[in-house]
Structure 1
Amino acid sequence: MDDVFGILPSWMFTAIVAVIVLLIIGIIFARLYRRASAEQAFVRTGLGGQKVVMSGGAIVMPIFHEIIPINMNTLKLEVSRATVDSLITKDRMRVDVVVAFFVRVKPSVE
């Protein structure tokens, strides 16, 4: 058998190089893969068009893609009209109002 550098057999050298290459590819893939959670989806734009990711994940290359996070939680918006900003009814009465709206993004690919 041929020895590489007089130390390792050639098949062992090839196996070590293959393991190192696979390890590097795995690290690169792990760095580029972004997952969406139940609370936050994202839209990937750029090379390859637009892709909406609500569950699972996608490969995001920083130079070619941009991600836009979308909050999927229910948000509470509270509107208060009191004192100077209070509402005036048809019979000219001043009314203090506090209203709460609950807003959520519909989970859809559109």
Structure 2
Amino acid sequence: MVSNKDKTLEVACPDCGAMIRIDVSTGGIISHTPAPRKRTFEDLETAARAMREQDERKESIFRQSVDAERNKADLLEKKFADALRKAKDAPEGKPLREFDLD
């Protein structure tokens, strides 16, 4: 809205919904009124349920990481045994280098 006596313009931000008051003659911002914040949860019961679900999700992730850490030693042993077997099966002798082939 343009006011004739003080030559200001009020504009609503299309992104956040804030109201911005602009001085028409200078183009400067006079004031900024932030948009009202939207509520994340409608009621306390919904917020409490979301908190419980988040705690359960955290506990599940923690249990998975503990199980992975327990199995880590076995996995490393298997990898080492496989690499050792491959090393024993590899041909004996000096490895060929690129400049040896010329």
Normalising by structure 2, what TM-score? 0.33
Normalising by structure 1, what TM-score? 0.31
Choose 1 or 2 for highest CA Rg: 2
Which is helix-richer, 1 or 2?
A: 2
Higher RCO (C-alpha 8 Å, min separation 6): 1
Which is strand-richer, 1 or 2?
A: 1
